[in-house]
């Protein structure tokens, strides 16, 4: 029975202390509510973690159920420094040889040396740039549908200014200035490689002579050109192929070749199924499953040694999820030579975790499409579908709005809201008790300060002890009655007098 102790009247009744103890009793439900709120918050965090892990399981199952994973291929080269290869998923396994006979190059152009002090103007006029193809050093075929670009040159423009104007003209040609001991040169280069991306430079000189070594025409007089070249290779020793760039993307279906050096012997290119992508997807699925399983095990366990229960021990949602997870893992698949994961080396351990026998898995992957069917087959039956499909559907159902995990989160948050309201009600009651206790305190203080009251309470010589005791008890009862109306705790006592509820 809770007890509020206080010194006897003879030594002074400590009503203030009594009120403090009453307030403390009123706060006891608040402590419990705060503990409950902390527990609910911890559960919210725990289920948020479980939700995140289930989302990871959904992603892992989705990847293992994806055709892209099972169609992944690898492309290898016997001389990757000279020619490398990539292949898109689903490309048929095959091999072929590639000998690189030429690398793609851009057209480059250099003016003759301009033996003038740096920055000296060349003269006004127009520089015209046209994209196209040089069929031979004297025959240029403009690219159909691509207009020539005219660049106006001022009479005071230096070679550097001319290069800047060409660069800003977006004519498919880049320009720079080379300075050496002999003087300046204007260097031009097509921005793309290959014969179809050559260019022709022409000058219209303000001095009306467009080819002499004076004025703006000095840019063309005595110039040198290196013509653009296509990349060239020979497939299987007899089939010549070309590309405007050093990438061959349409030579072999599904395969892209990138050449980096000419070769004297052919490089062997091999396209094969990339089983490492599959094993990685299997490992990721196993890791995601184990993460969910371990978290649920830890949260729902009961430690006999320490008599300690996990946070979610006895929680119906957590236990139901754990049971469903293991049930899905133990179900069988039809339509494959393998019906269970254990058939391909994925076994369930003590505690529910999965372990992978990589040797057995590799052997199974070499047997054909049966492993893919074990994971991906769609029987239109959730009980016999492929394992990856089952778990993708299972985890998706847990995460969907209004389903298990979102509903649990909403339920916990509603519980937290109710707890907050209960705490507010207790706090309001505590405030009322503190406020209503002030009048009795004040009345008691005034009474005990009156001389006649003090004389009666302390039974001086000649006053009967019984009468003094009766006076003290009367005062205590008056205080008790006042406080009982404020905080009626059954079984509490003031001094030797109980405070009884009505």
- DSSP of 301-348: -EETTTTEE-TTTT-HHHHHHHHHHHHHHH----SSS--SGGGGTEEE
> For residue 478, what pLDDT is reported?
56
C-beta of residue 493 within 8 angstroms of C-beta of residue 22:
no
**CB-based contact 114:122 (threshold 8 Å):** yes
Q: Is the pLDDT of residue 462 over 60?
A: no
Higher pLDDT, 115 or 270: 270
Same domain, 113 and 260: no
As beta bridge partners, residue 110 has 187, 224
Helices 387-399 & 404-436 angle (0-180, nearest 10): 30
Q: What is the mean pLDDT of residues 268-288?
A: 95
Which of these ranges, 95-104, 278-287, 308-317, has the smallest mean pLDDT? 308-317
Question: Are residues 171 and 187 in contact, defined by beta-carbon separation less than 8 angstroms?
Answer: no
Task: Report residue 361: phi and psi, to 5°.
Answer: -65, -45
The dihedral through the CA atoms of 318, 321, 327, 328 has a sign that is negative
Query: Which residue in 405, 195, 441, 231 sits closest to 320, CA to CA?
Result: 405
Give the tokens for residue 456. 């009666």
Regarding whether 138 and 82 lie in a shared domain, the answer is no
| Residue position matching structure tokens 């047997």 | 367
- Whether residue 147 lies inside any domain: the answer is yes
Tokens 């209503």 identify what position? 436
pLDDT of residue 357: 96
Task: Name the pLDDT band for 120 (thresholds 50, 70, 90).
Answer: confident
Structure tokens at 390: 């089952």
Q: Is pLDDT of 150 > 80? A: yes
Could you tell me if 113 and 217 lie in one domain?
yes
Whether residue 120 is found in the same domain as residue 161? yes
> What is the percent of the chain with per-residue pLDDT over 90, rounded to a whole number?
60
- Give domain status of residue 65, yes or no: no
Residue 260 in tokens: 């980096």
Distance, in Å, from the CA atom of 216 to the CA atom of 168, rounded to the nearest integer, reads 19
Q: How far is the C-alpha of 141 from the C-alpha of 347, rounded, in Å?
A: 69
| Mean pLDDT across 465-486 | 55
- 297 pLDDT higher than 50: yes
Is residue 96 predicted with pLDDT exceeding 80? yes
Number of domains in the chain: 2
Give the three-state DSSP class for 428.
Answer: helix
Of the three residues 226, 247, 281, the one that is the final residue of a domain is 226
Does 14 score more than 70 pLDDT? no
**Residue at 441 is within a domain:** no
Q: What's residue 429's pLDDT?
A: 81
Q: Which pair of structure tokens corresponds to residue 24?
A: 């403390």
468 has pLDDT over 60: no
Q: What is the mean pLDDT of the segment spanning 38-60?
A: 93
Q: Between 307 and 456, whose confidence is greater? A: 307
- Same domain? For 222 and 252 the reply is no
Same domain, yes or no, for 241 and 134? no
Mean pLDDT of 7-28: 60
Shared domain check, 238 and 190: no
Structure-model confidence comparison of residues 368 and 405, the more confident one: 405
Q: Which of 218, 240, 273 is the last residue of a domain?
A: 273
Which of 16-20, 130-134, 205-209, 364-368 is predicted least confidently?
Answer: 16-20
pLDDT band at 244 (very low <50, low <70, confident <90, very high): very high
Same domain, 122 and 269: no
Q: Are residues 237 and 88 in the same domain?
A: yes
Q: How confident is the model at residue 332 (pLDDT cuts 50, 70, 90)?
A: very high
Q: Return d(Cα 441, Cα 61) in angstroms, integer.
A: 71
- Whether residues 237 and 159 fall in one domain: no
CB 377 within 8 A of CB 65: no
Secondary-structure breakdown of the chain: helix, strand, coil percentages, each rounded to the nearest 5: 45, 25, 30
Q: How confident is the model at residue 9 (pLDDT cuts 50, 70, 90)?
A: very low
DSSP SS3 for 366: coil
CA 440/CA 450 separation, integer angstroms = 16
Mean pLDDT of the chain: 85
| Burial environment of residue 485 by CB neighbours within 10 A (0 to 12, 13 to 18, 19 or more) | exposed
Inform me whether the pLDDT recorded for 354 exceeds 70: yes
Residue-number span of the structural domain to which 237 is assigned = 73-103+231-273
Give the model's confidence band at 497: pLDDT under 50 very low, under 70 low, under 90 confident, else very high: very low
Chosen domain end from 242, 273, 304 = 273
Region 332-358 average pLDDT: 94
| pLDDT reading at 418 higher than 50 | yes
Is residue 493 over pLDDT 50? no
Tell whether 490 is covered by a domain. no
Return all residues near 189 (Cβ < 8 A) that are at least 6 apart: 106, 107, 108, 109, 173, 174, 175
Lowest mean pLDDT among 45-59, 126-140, 399-413: 399-413
How far apart, in whole angstroms, are the C-alpha atoms of residue 415 and residue 41? Answer: 10
Task: Answer whether residue 180 is part of any domain.
Answer: yes
Q: In this predicted structure, what is the pLDDT of residue 181? A: 82
Task: Note whether 112 and 261 are same-domain residues.
Answer: no
| pLDDT score recorded for residue 423 | 85
Distance CA 125, CA 73 (A): 58
Quick check: 230 and 243 in contact, CB under 8 A? yes
- Asked if residue 502 has pLDDT above 60, the reply is no
342: in domain: no
d(CA 42, CA 19): 35
What pLDDT band is residue 212 in, cutting at 50, 70 and 90?
confident
Write out the DSSP string of 220-282. TTT-EEE--B-EEEEETTTEEEEESSSEEEEEETTEEEEE-S--SSPEEEEEEE-HHHHHHHH
Q: What is the mean pLDDT of residues 192-197?
A: 96
Q: Is residue 488 part of a domain?
A: no
Cα(87)–Cα(249) distance, rounded to whole angstroms? 10
Output DSSP code: residue 450: S
Compute the distance between CA of residue 467 and CA of residue 465 in angstroms, rounded to an integer.
Answer: 5
189 lies in some domain? yes
> What CA–CA distance (Å, rounded) separates 124 from 127?
10
- Whether the pLDDT of residue 111 is over 90: the answer is yes
pLDDT at residue 494 is higher than 90: no
Average pLDDT, integer, range 391-401: 91
Mean local confidence (pLDDT), 133-148? 94
- pLDDT bucket at 7, cuts 50 / 70 / 90: very low
What mean pLDDT comes out for the span 202-227?
A: 90
86 plus 127 within the same structural domain: no
pLDDT above 90 (res 265)? yes
Asked if residue 102 lies in contact with residue 244, where contact means CB atoms within 8 angstroms, the answer is no
CA atoms within 13 A on the CB side of 67: 5
């Amino acid at each position: 029975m809770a007890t509020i102790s206080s010194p006897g009247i003879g030594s002074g009744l400590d009503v203030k202390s009594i009120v403090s103890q009453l307030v403390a009793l009123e706060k006891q439900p608040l402590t419990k509510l705060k503990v409950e709120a902390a527990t609910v918050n911890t559960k919210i965090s725990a289920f948020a973690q479980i939700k995140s892990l289930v989302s990871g399981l959904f992603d892992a199952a989705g990847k293992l159920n994806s055709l892209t994973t099972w169609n992944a291929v690898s492309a290898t080269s016997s001389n990757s420094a000279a020619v490398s290869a990539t292949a898109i998923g689903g490309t048929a396994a095959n091999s072929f040889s590639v000998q690189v006979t030429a690398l793609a190059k851009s057209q480059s152009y250099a003016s003759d040396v301009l033996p003038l002090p740096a920055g000296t103007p060349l003269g006004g006029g127009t520089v015209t740039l046209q994209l196209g193809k040089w069929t031979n050093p004297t025959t240029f075929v403009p690219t159909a549908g691509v207009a020539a670009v005219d660049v106006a040159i001022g009479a005071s423009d230096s070679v550097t200014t001319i290069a800047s104007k060409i660069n800003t003209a977006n004519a498919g040609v880049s320009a720079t200035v080379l300075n050496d001991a002999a003087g300046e040169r204007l260097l031009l280069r097509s921005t793309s490689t290959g014969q179809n991306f050559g260019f022709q430079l022409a000058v219209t000189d303000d001095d009306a002579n467009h080819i002499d070594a004076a004025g703006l025409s000095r840019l063309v007089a005595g110039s040198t050109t290196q013509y653009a070249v296509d990349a060239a290779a020979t497939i299987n020793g007899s089939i010549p192929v070309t590309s405007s760039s050093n990438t061959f993307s349409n030579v072999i279906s599904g395969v892209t070749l990138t050449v980096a050096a000419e070769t004297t012997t052919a490089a062997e290119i091999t396209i094969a199924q990339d089983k490492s992508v599959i094993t990685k997807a299997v490992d990721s699925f196993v890791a995601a499953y184990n993460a969910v399983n371990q978290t649920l095990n830890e949260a729902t366990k009961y430690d006999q040694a320490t008599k300690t229960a996990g946070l979610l021990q006895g929680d119906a949602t957590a236990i139901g999820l754990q049971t469903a997870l293991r049930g899905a893992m133990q179900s069988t698949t039809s339509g494959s030579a393998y019906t269970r994961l254990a058939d391909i080396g994925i076994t369930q351990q003590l505690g529910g975790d999965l372990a992978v026998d990589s040797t057995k898995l590799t052997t199974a992957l070499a047997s054909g499409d049966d492993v893919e069917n074990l994971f991906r087959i769609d029987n239109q039956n959730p009980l016999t579908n492929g394992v990856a499909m089952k778990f993708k559907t299972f985890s998706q159902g847990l995460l969907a709005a209004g389903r298990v995990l979102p509903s649990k989160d909403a339920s916990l948050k509603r519980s937290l809201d109710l707890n907050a309201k209960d705490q507010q009600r207790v706090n309001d009651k505590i405030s009322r008790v503190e406020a209503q206790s002030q009048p009795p305190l004040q009345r008691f203080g005034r009474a005990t300060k009156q001389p006649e009251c003090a004389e009666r309470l302390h039974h001086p010589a000649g006053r009967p002890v019984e009468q003094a005791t009766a006076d003290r008890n009367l005062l205590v009862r008056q205080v008790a009655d006042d406080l009982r109306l404020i905080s009626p705790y059954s079984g509490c006592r003031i001094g030797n007098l109980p405070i009884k509820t009505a």
